[in-house]
Structure 1
């Protein structure tokens, strides 16, 4: 109920956007791709929005299949003027969307009407929805990967600090030594990683590349200069962990979560979206003492891969949105942003700065602990080939799985990746 009260309070501050122009109830057609805990929370927010705007605005929401099916549906629907009025969109998919002509610009007047501005968002998050100086979405969150850990096992192995965090987060040598200490203490899997999915491991690998100052794409070239060496360094380290029995081998996503929640893995690299899983199990008395922190610095500097769930307005071909409808859409987005404290219970870091700077958010754990990583984020390269379920993921996944599991030489893998990516 605490979060519901917060949402009601925020409504007082945001409700004026629509009131001045409302004449009759506007129905806003909404599409999202949110399942699991995300879906449960967004459905609650939509319900609360509709209750607060009864008689003026009603969200008519539809949830579609995540990934390629969602984006294909958006593309085909916009082409014939049948797309929704507002939709969720991954920031990483915006470059491709712009080549397809499916996104409407969020103009300066729109930002003003919503009561939002660039200063409300982290620099990397704002940049992720910007192209040629124009914005094409409103970031709702950042959802990075983090390091989950079992305090009980770490304490037993002598690698839990007085601050309740793992001790080996400062360098590759320290982190590897911590993994070894856990193994020596009898932990079956010091680190659980989704090593059977190259798509998922892209997040960890790209983070560690960035920790070396590396980038995947320079201009139109992939792995230019010494970036291939930085990718090789990353794969060598991760392969070493696997070969030394410090990291789970050929583990798919559900198995990785199961290894951690069962106590067989002392730590796990996974998305913040698994926070509700841990919170729910702990609330039922079925989980150990756990925490989550920013990724360890295994190379030169902190850096973590992230994407952003954002709100976008489709460019419906041959269908002009009325001023009243656009005002309603902007009220929907504004309200969701300013009430995103509740969205944070899904583990995500709200993109709207005043929420993360609030006392209520700073009391949320583990969110407040890992929110520091927003200063060290890296998003996908700005390319139509990048983004969730994009061609870059497909190419790299082919090489990552055998390499991470000790069956392919890292340098050989990088050579193949570079050749195939540049052929795209």
Structure 2
């Protein structure tokens, strides 16, 4: 297929009455923050793209995840030294809009990439858009937390159906009953997740909070009205599980994964990005039990699961040439068409044609938990929220200590409200 860049160059030559010469090669400078299995898969995609294209070559650079990455993006774009394309967390979009670091994606841009907004899940397009509806990035995936579980341990119990999926968990009481049963069966930490703070605790808290239809921000106010009670309830739930020994004490991220793979937890709530970890252990014969993953059950008022998206963004560079922009859009379109390979990292592609394909239906457990795309609860749309934000700091400093008994849930929620509100006022 002729690339957008090649079409543009050919059209320019024809308009000038010239024959079309051999296309000059465009180098696209690419930045991402992808490590581990994500990084391996993305590098493979870049290598495949480069092998297929003579006229465009991606020069990829992987930078440190989190605040260092976004600081470098902000400073580099400000002085006109940013990349041509970069990966971006959509939870960071509100801050990106304030900083002015992104170039809007027009309908014409999408057409050049061979895409349309209708190709993507509604939740991801909404997360990628400014308040006025302007598209600011192109979603690549929806990555959320899921319930990884020990099928072998649950075999023959009331919590596993005939297809091997979790069942019978329709309330917090149902899940607590399962965890207590697992404790009695010898699982030292029945439900593992990153309990020391950080992303793991935020994702658990926010899932429970949003399942109550909780809103962290309402018209610029933090935890307005009964949202304070919903936050307290979410923290209290986690604190109660900790006091019963149903979740681990201050488990670091790696330790929480090891608790599950080592057979000490029957459930592990973590991101879809750990799916390859458990698949690899299964293939190597080191896991020791049959494993699977489902969407986190609805236990409260509505289905909701913490989620974010990796997206492709174009820096706000007024000096970018038309040829380079066309090449960047060709890269974005190609990546979407090859997003089944990215799904191997556990992510749900944001590109619906991939998720609706027969090939994706055979990809397990991904196809089973793809339903969560309709229940994705993205971080609040605010400059204080998203990856490496003040909200994450509040989790580390307030919610995690409350889960472990150092603060009451009421104290933690009130202090979080006060600290975050001060950043908005």
Bin of the TM-score, shorter chain as denominator length: over 0.9
Question: Deviations along 1:130-162, whole A, 9 cap, x unmatched?
Answer: 011101100000110111001112227653222
1:90 positional shift: 0.5
Partner in structure 2 of residue 149 of structure 1: 149
1:263 positional shift: 0.6
1:16 positional shift: 4.6
Q: Distance between the aligned counterparts of 1:85 and 1:144, measured in 2?
A: 27
Unaligned segments of structure 2, at least 5 residues:
10-22
1:169 positional shift: 2.4
Corresponding residue SS for 1:135 = coil
Partner in structure 1 of residue 12 of structure 2: none
Corresponding residue SS for 2:204 = helix
Q: Distance between the aligned counterparts of 1:418 and 1:156, measured in 2?
A: 45
Partner in structure 2 of residue 402 of structure 1: 401
Correspondence 1:124 to 2:111: no
1:18 positional shift: 3.8
Unaligned segments of structure 1, at least 5 residues:
1-11
Corresponding residue SS for 2:203 = helix
Alpha-carbon RMSD: 1.3
1:203 positional shift: 1.1
Q: Distance between the aligned counterparts of 2:113 and 2:262, measured in 1?
A: 45
The 5 Å alignment of 1:40-79 reads 40-54=40-54, 56-79=55-78
- Residue 156 of structure 1 contacts residue 185 of structure 1 at CA under 8 Å; is this kept in 2? no
Partner in structure 2 of residue 311 of structure 1: 312
Correspondence 1:20 to 2:7: yes
TM-score calculated relative to the size of structure 2: 0.93
Correspondence 1:294 to 2:281: no
Corresponding residue SS for 1:130 = coil
1:166 positional shift: 2.5
- Residue 199 of structure 1 contacts residue 394 of structure 1 at CA under 8 Å; is this kept in 2? no
1:362 positional shift: 0.9
Question: Deviations along 1:249-302, whole A, 9 cap, x unmatched?
Answer: 211101000000111111111011101101111111111200011112221111
Q: Distance between the aligned counterparts of 2:405 and 2:371, measured in 1?
A: 33
Corresponding residue SS for 1:195 = coil
Partner in structure 1 of residue 331 of structure 2: 332
1:104 positional shift: 0.5
1:19 positional shift: 3.5
Q: Distance between the aligned counterparts of 2:370 and 2:161, measured in 1?
A: 20
Q: Distance between the aligned counterparts of 1:155 and 1:337, measured in 2?
A: 38
- Residue 198 of structure 1 contacts residue 400 of structure 1 at CA under 8 Å; is this kept in 2? no
Length, aligned pairs only: 408
- Residue 159 of structure 1 contacts residue 167 of structure 1 at CA under 8 Å; is this kept in 2? yes
TM-score calculated relative to the size of structure 1: 0.94
Q: Distance between the aligned counterparts of 1:220 and 1:412, measured in 2?
A: 21
Q: Distance between the aligned counterparts of 1:301 and 1:392, measured in 2?
A: 23
1:164 positional shift: 0.6
Corresponding residue SS for 2:354 = helix
Question: Deviations along 1:340-377, whole A, 9 cap, x unmatched?
Answer: 00000000000000000000001100101111001111
Q: Distance between the aligned counterparts of 1:64 and 1:420, measured in 2?
A: 30
